[in-house]
Structure 1
């Protein structure tokens, strides 16, 4: 089965375009300059995003792997005003995800010593895939920032100067836009590196909120339509040109304790997340972390995440921001 994917491209002169890829073939779309504009057009016309893309007509063919290598592919969604992009996520959503969390917190997960993390995981396992029309168990939820925290498929992931760690989280991210009537629309899914500070989280799980206020990376491709029940990929860390750590990861609803629909419901049930025109990037969680295997990352390490049916990986070097002083002035 072949999947349609949309990609955003920026030429050397700054000109923006949208690419439609199907299988190994990819073409520029005539007249399209952003996925967001294309999505708003689809909503206005009452069509799907795929139909709106095809209606543009195909232009010149393009080698998307070569364009990514040249640094000309962007994250597959953005907004002219980064404040109108919200990055959020859910955790303990995948089968096996509680194992890594409990390793991190170094706590027992049985009897009277069940951690809050394990309890939340077990509740999701029991009620995270409700029947259509029923309300399932709500997941762990967190906020990562606005669109200023979103980086492209080859850009550095920069941790703050005060960060204790910069660690990868290979995931799927749902990409959404809110229509003029407040209706959320899922545009598709992207391969993602959610990126967190696991040392900070391990110190005290109540610091999870702090640990998540970090950048995140999206792969270049927006996967349209229904997604595979199971997705298998590889997450690895490259240091000095050599693979330091590598492990398969699983995603897709067949490998999750929650359904996409349940995670979406518990995000968009809040009116503040249904503001017309806003973009939402929602990270669906993972069960695979190098940190759980005792890896300590270093500046210059490269995170490489790949998974079919995405043709391109998301590959980001780790960097650290310069320290700055923060002092509030009375006005």
Structure 2
């Protein structure tokens, strides 16, 4: 099942199920958010999809019109943004078979020469031990924190880039959406498309600046796909400037194209007790191997990012927006 959150004509948040042909959305009754739907499913002992099916109403809306009007929200949020954690893992994707072979050869050459970088060393650990047997912990991935729920931007809304940013570039990714149950158990609601917007110039200066480069807005959605996920997912990432495609490239994701299993990535995120606080929401980006920045593209204000992953529904589209300074040196005051 594919679910969205939206604003109805009165401005209230509703949950809808996208019909099979993706032309209509059927509103659910008795829930005002995916978060409420998840807790109802937990209380009833049902899957999220089964709970949604049990609460389908009769009102349908035109899906394309909802997107055009900017009434579609991100597919999951917490009523209190401070209780939503947005995080991610990097160095998780292998890319194409040719790139994989080249990477393996490069790894061996660097290892033989004793010049393996920290990033390549971590990637190698993932290749060798990131997909262990089920129920077994494998190699730890790179991990980063992006922010709380306040950094999430709705589908179609501008992605703000702060005045101090050196770059603002897209990262097309698969995102896992989770709610922590009353007993502290993480529950995966499903997956969505994500644009893990980052500052690649800052990151390139020194890998220790990775943490700074990730503290940016990001977008998720429009749809939440419940149930099993195909192992091989193929999409397209593009940038439009003035309505014309400036850059476009296919990208691969899903476990068939990753050196880490999703179970291993989930384990290394939720093994920390602080990440299992009952009631919290987690949105976790699983990484990418495709960036326009790697091809020498520099996005500008007004450019439109589009991440299209058909197995997860409608594309995620967001324009880039630069914002004025919000804080200056010396802005801290003694109390």
- TM-score of the superposed pair, with normalisation by structure 2: 0.93
Instruction: Pick from 124, 146, 149 the counterpart of residue 148 of structure 2.
Output: 146
Matched, 1:205 2:207: yes
1:125-156 CA-to-partner distances (Å, cap 9, x unmatched) read: 11111101211001000000000000111111
Query: Which range is displaced more, 209-218 or 9-18?
Result: 9-18
Instruction: Pick from 2, 20, 26 the counterpart of residue 5 of structure 1.
Output: 2
| Alignment-derived partner of residue 302 in structure 1 | 304
| Alignment-derived partner of residue 69 in structure 1 | 68
1:266-315 CA-to-partner distances (Å, cap 9, x unmatched) read: 00000000001000000000000000000011111100011111231111
Decide whether the 8 Å contact of 1:238 with 1:301 is kept in 2: yes
The 5 Å alignment of 1:42-121 reads: 42-96=41-95, 110=110, 111-121=113-123
Decide whether the 8 Å contact of 2:153 with 2:159 is kept in 1: yes
SS of the residue corresponding to residue 66 of structure 2 reads helix
| Alignment-derived partner of residue 334 in structure 2 | 330
**Alpha-carbon offset, residue 330 of structure 1:** 1.3
Unpaired runs of 5+ in structure 1? none
**Alpha-carbon offset, residue 65 of structure 1:** 2.1
Instruction: Pick from 217, 220, 237 the counterpart of residue 219 of structure 2.
Output: 217
- TM-score of the superposed pair, with normalisation by structure 1: 0.94
**Alpha-carbon offset, residue 32 of structure 1:** 2.3
| Distance (Å, rounded) in 2 between the aligned partners of 1:108 and 1:73 | 47
| Alignment-derived partner of residue 178 in structure 1 | 180
| Distance (Å, rounded) in 2 between the aligned partners of 1:239 and 1:298 | 8
SS of the residue corresponding to residue 113 of structure 1 reads coil
Unpaired runs of 5+ in structure 2? none
| Alignment-derived partner of residue 162 in structure 2 | 160
Q: Provide runs of 4+ in structure 1 moved above 3 Å.
A: none
| Distance (Å, rounded) in 2 between the aligned partners of 1:16 and 1:149 | 19
Matched, 1:316 2:290: no
Decide whether the 8 Å contact of 2:19 with 2:26 is kept in 1: no
Instruction: Pick from 277, 284, 293 the counterpart of residue 286 of structure 2.
Output: 284
| Distance (Å, rounded) in 1 between the aligned partners of 2:167 and 2:247 | 16
1:33-76 CA-to-partner distances (Å, cap 9, x unmatched) read: 10000000111111100111111133222222221111110000
**Alpha-carbon offset, residue 15 of structure 1:** 1.7
